[in-house]
Structure 1
Amino acid sequence: MKKIVFSLFVLFFASQVKAQTIPDKAAQIKAAVLAAPQDFRKGAKVYGYDANGEWTVLREGSNEMICIADNPNAEGFSASCYHKDLEPFMERGRALKKEGKNFKQIFDTREKEAKSGSLKMPSEPASLYVLSADKADFDPMKGKVDNSYLRYVVYIPWATMESTGLSTKPDFPGMPWIMDPGTHRAHIMISPPKD
């Protein structure tokens, strides 16, 4: 009987510790929208995690921006926001990752589906913003981030060096360049120099 009571206590304690590591909804939203330009923050849709650590919608949106809260199980801080036209592409990637697919399998599957038209890709350039920080600079319970770094991505499916005039690598820090040219995942990378 003592073993059963002890086991139940351990399970209860473990579940309480896990619940305490997930920031509340307001803190997750506050930190997630920091990745978006100021004009989009108030009305952005936000995905994050519930008290059990399950993926969920934290807030419905009223504009073109979708934000992803920091994953509490990942090291450091990372939040991202992207244009709603990228949602089919992003959602498909999340589904494939959940199935256990690796990066190449995810890329190949989405490439095939985008070419066939079963995966809808943006018809116009669509932006993604990624905000990151070291673990020491992030207070998850308050949604406060210090010393953060913001990089920018503009998806232009099927774009090439020739269609954009962009190199496939930056010649100096902060220079825009095109990654994955000629594919569904073609995008302009802009990584400002770090201090």
Structure 2
Amino acid sequence: MRSSIILLVLLFPVLALAQKKVLPAEVQIRTAVLAAPEDLRAGVMVYGYNEAGEMVVLREGTNHLVCVADDPDKKGINVSCYSKKLEPFMARGRALTEEGKPEMERREIRRKEAEAGELELPDAPAMTYILTGSEENYNLETGELKDGQFRYVIYIPYATAQSTGLPEKPFAPGMPWIMDPGTHRAHIMITPPKN
């Protein structure tokens, strides 16, 4: 028993350091909008995290994009912005995550709901911008990220390789390809090569 207590006391500082601190709303917003095209950043809606670690709206938007701040419980920096057409799909995913559903179960639930017409999917291609980077290249005070890597995802539900002409795997660096073809979550992936 005593050795267990000593182990916990020794591990506590390590565990505490492993979790990132929830940053001020202004910094979260500054970082989240880095994923959006520059000319749209001022008008995007932004989700982020409060002191309790709950996802909340940090800023209401005036244009067609929604951005999500970096999750303080995950390693690295990962922010994204997506078309408001995707909000029902994304919101349902967040709700299922809060319920503790694992990834594959979330996918299956959303598939069934989409096929039953209970989950609204975009009726035209819908864009998502993703920016990732390492914590070593991130400024906690300014929200700036150096050497981030972009990835672009264009949701096009139920599209296939045949309907788009895209391959199901990339065969050259940075080329677009279709992932999950023929499903409710079919999307075009574009990952530019790193500099």
Same fold (TM over 0.5): yes
2:144 is aligned to 144
Deviations 1:78-137 (A, max 9, x none): 100000000000011111111121121111111111111100000000000110001100
Structure-2 separation of matches of 1:183 and 1:109 = 13
| Residue 107 of structure 2: aligned partner | 107
Q: CA deviation at 1:141?
A: 2.8
Structure 1 counterpart of 2:173: 173
Which residue in the other structure is 1:190 paired with? Answer: 190
Q: Secondary structure at the match of 2:43?
A: coil
* Partner in structure 2 of residue 10 of structure 1: none
Tell me whether 1:77 sits opposite 2:77 in the alignment: yes
User: Residue 139 of structure 1: SS of its match in structure 2?
Assistant: coil
Report the Cα distance in structure 2 between the residues aligned to 1:106 and 1:69, rounded to whole angstroms. 21
For residues 163-187 of structure 1, what are the alpha-carbon distances to aligned partners after superposition, in whole Å with 9 as ceiling and x for unaligned? 0000100001101000000000000
Residue type of the alignment partner of 1:183: T
Deviations 1:135-160 (A, max 9, x none): 10012332111111111000000000
- Counterpart in the other structure of 2:55: 55
Percent of residue pairs bearing the same amino acid type = 52
* In 2: Cα distance, 1:54 partner to 1:192 partner: 32
Equivalents in 2 of 1:37, 1:79: separation in Å?
13
Q: In the alignment, residue 177 of structure 1 is paired with which amino acid?
A: W
Residue 39 of structure 2: aligned partner: 39
Specify the alignment match of 1:11 in structure 2: none
SS at match of 1:194: coil
Structure 1 unaligned runs (5+)? Answer: 1-16
> Residue in 2 aligned with 1:9?
none
Cα contact 1:76–1:138 (8 A) shared by 2: no
Alpha-carbon distance in structure 2 between the residues aligned to 1:103 and 1:119: 17
Q: Which runs of 5+ in 2 are unaligned?
A: 1-16
Q: TM-score, normalised by structure 2?
A: 0.88
1:124 equivalent in structure 2: 124
Tell me how large the CA RMSD over aligned residues is: 1.3
